[in-house]
Amino acid sequence: QMELLESGGGSVQAGGSLRLSCTTSGSTFTNYKVGWFRQAPGKEREFVAAIRWDYDSPWYGDPAKGRFTISRDIAKNTVYLQMNRLSPEDTGVYYCNAALGENLMATPGRYWGRGTQVTVFS
């Protein structure tokens, strides 16, 4: 099975930036869709962004549009989420997610990381 590990979360002032990373353990992202979901306390899980590894085709949820950029580094087998102009509404746990085969960009795949906390304060 695919094992995912997130990093890069932290605490940042509103207007600041963070870069999240997602890597695999003992595998590669070839043939996968890889992306990010987030969940704030007491809120529903929310789609943030995803990318098809082999085609380098990104897709963004509404909260990410114009502020976040998802990208991949083949050599490092890593997916990044660059988050700019952060606001308190972006606070939550960000989970890396991956799906093998045909899968809609905003539909969760079966593989999840444990999450990394993002806190944005004003």
Cite the beta strand spans of the chain per DSSP E: 4-7, 10-13, 18-24, 32-39, 46-52, 57-60, 68-73, 78-83, 92-100, 111-112, 116-121
5-20 pLDDT, tens digit each: 999 999 999 999 999 9
Rounded-to-integer distance, Cα 107 and Cα 99, Å: 9
35-46 pLDDT, tens digit each: 999 999 999 999
* pLDDT digit string (tens) for the chain, length 122 residues: 789 999 999 999 999 999 999 999 878 999 999 999 999 999 999 999 999 999 999 999 999 999 999 999 999 999 999 999 999 999 999 999 999 987 789 999 999 999 999 999 99
Q: Determine the pLDDT at residue 101.
A: 81
